[in-house]
Structure 1
Amino acid sequence: MPFSDARNRSAVSRREALLTAGSLGGTTVAGCLGSNSRSVSVLSAGSLARTFEDHVGPAFEEETGVEVHGEYYGANAVMRMVEDRTKHPDVIVSADATLLRDRLYGEFIDWDVEFAANSVGIGYNEETEFGQRLDAGKPWYQLALETNEGDIAIGDPDLDPLGYRAVQAFELAETEHGLEEFRETMMDLVYEEPEEPQMMAGVEAGSRAGAIVYRNMAIDHGMPFFEFPDEYNFANPELADHYATVEFTTAEEGYTAHGRPVIYNATVNGGADEPDAGHRLVQFLIDESDLLVDAGLAVGDSLPRPEGDVPEEIDV
């Protein structure tokens, strides 16, 4: 079913139970994390920057007294930073669950939890000609072909799953709408933004007409969002086999990503400095689905979903 119709799981928060248990035992939840756990570091996919900074981080600190210190990059770049040890986060979050497992399982981690989903489409400036014609019902792909070079941005596909999903969406749209060489033409037209959190900046300023983004990113910036059809929005699990008919291979690592539904997952780094706080943050993502929904993500009935040797500290 489409992202906009996905049923959002109303998880029962463990907050009251934890606080009650803490008060009965003479401690607070924050105390359970240990007196030295005053912060937790997160290395996350850039599309969740606002989600962590505006929603998850403040709520987590309010509940536990532990600050969330986040850094946000394209998920390919996140994996590379962990692999080459230029970053040493407590919690790792990916916008492509399979990417994290392919790159980090074995040497760094052996488990993760899928906690949210998303949809791909166009965040656009409604005051531009492109936005006005899109609002008038003109097919997005025809309008895209008429844009000037750089009017539409995508993420850098070598750094970011959102980038390679844009390329894959172009290819699926080419087949879906009978558009000859649509993918190649669009790749000549688009601007590749290397900093995922900056994807919407040019659109907000009006220097770009739109960007291929996740739904929550448009919501973060108060911009209108045109969701692609199910056939290439990567939001419908029932179309996983269809999405998998396209792929993209990154230039630097040579990693081949097949098309797949947008699923976020999180784990605690095997060498985390603050593993207790890391586990608590992952548990918070599992429990507080309403926060994620408020941030524009989806949490359907199939989520959360664990993978691998999940530690006993995590209750899924």
Structure 2
Amino acid sequence: MLRKLLVSGAVLTGLLAANVCAADEGTVNVLYAGSLVNLMERSVGPAFEKETGLHFQGYAAGSNKIANEVKGKLRRGDVFISASPKVNASLMGAANGDHVSWYVNFAESPLMIGYNPQSRFAADFKQKRWDQVLQEPGIRVGRTDPKLDPKGAFTVQMVTKAAELYHQPDLVQKTLGAPDNPEQVLPEETLVGRLQSGQLDAGFFYSTETSDLKIPAFRPAPELQARASYTLTILNDAPNASGGTRFADFLLSAKGRALLKEHGVDVIKPTVTGNAQAVPSSLHAVIDAAQ
């Protein structure tokens, strides 16, 4: 009897394991920059599921935060979409865990200053230069952590350049405070919601966020311009590499690129960095078709 129970238990365990594997094969885990939440969850993800029958499972956060979690083995995924090529470099090579061998630059989005149209400072944004408004008493400004998110780093860089351009040595301190100022620094995936709900008067966003969600915004002077450079890769230890390849094929296809454009992303000619031979052949074909 004991032997029969052990055999039955082993069979049941095998069946459960098979079911888990099957479920994993039907799900594609996409780790992506938090500035793409609306695009991924409401547009690309559902369209991918309809096109392929696979399940899209997204995780949004600052690009550096995701990379740190991958390196620390706190999170696994099939596809990684970053807002900066530098983040991929931090995952390449044996010294960095060899999580990434290649990546594709496929889109860009400039940094903007967006504001809540219901804010008491909204009229000032229409009459004054942005740096002047951000120094007004009581204004609530949101941004991301420069250590965890490229957008946060771009924000600090842009205001630092503005301090020089506008001859205001203390501009960074007056508008941003310390780099990790807890009164301003928020998770990237929550920043838009905080602005829309009235918890913030203004913030730093990419154009894909402001145009996609109809947030009033303006672009700083050309001398201050900074932009996200979105990249895509399939992680070397992807649990579902084949599913990840199908997602990459879809996102860079004509249909996927059209969705990117609809959501205010500047689509560019895809370029591969790193080991091009490791790029799946189907993705090579999609990239060539997009030239």
Q: Scaled by the length of structure 1, what TM-score is found?
A: 0.75
- 2:165 is matched with 176
The alignment covers a number of residue pairs equal to 253
RMSD: 2.0
Structure 2 counterparts to residues 71-86 of structure 1, below 5 A:
71-86=59-74
Q: What code does the residue aligned with 2:123 have? A: Q
Greater Cα shift, 200-209 or 274-283: 200-209
- 1:264 is matched with 230
Structure 2 counterparts to residues 284-303 of structure 1, below 5 A:
284-287=250-253, 288-300=256-268, 303=269
| Unmatched 5+ stretches in structure 1 | 1-33, 236-261
Q: What code does the residue aligned with 1:183 have? A: V
Identical pairs, percent: 26
Q: Which has the larger radius of gyration?
A: 2
- 1:192 is matched with 184
Give CA-to-partner distance per residue, 1:34-87, whole Å, 9 cap, x none. Answer: 997322001111111111111111111111111210011111100001101111
Identify the match of residue 58 of structure 1 among 46, 66, 83.
Answer: 46
Task: Judge conservation of contact 2:142–2:186 (CA < 8 Å) in 1.
Answer: no
Structure 2 counterparts to residues 1-40 of structure 1, below 5 A:
37-40=25-28
| Unmatched 5+ stretches in structure 2 | 1-21
Task: Judge conservation of contact 2:79–2:235 (CA < 8 Å) in 1.
Answer: yes
Structure 2 counterparts to residues 118-267 of structure 1, below 5 A:
118-135=109-126, 137-148=127-138, 151-188=140-177, 191-235=183-227, 262-267=228-233
Q: Indicate the structure with greater helix content.
A: 2
Aligned mates of 1:98, 1:164 — CA distance in 2: 12
Q: Scaled by the length of structure 2, what TM-score is found?
A: 0.81
Aligned mates of 1:132, 1:105 — CA distance in 2: 50
- 2:78 is matched with 90
Aligned mates of 1:273, 1:103 — CA distance in 2: 17
Q: What code does the residue aligned with 1:84 have? A: G
Q: What code does the residue aligned with 1:103 have? A: L
Over 6 Å off, 4+ runs:
none
Q: What code does the residue aligned with 2:84 have? A: D
Aligned mates of 2:90, 2:78 — CA distance in 1: 19
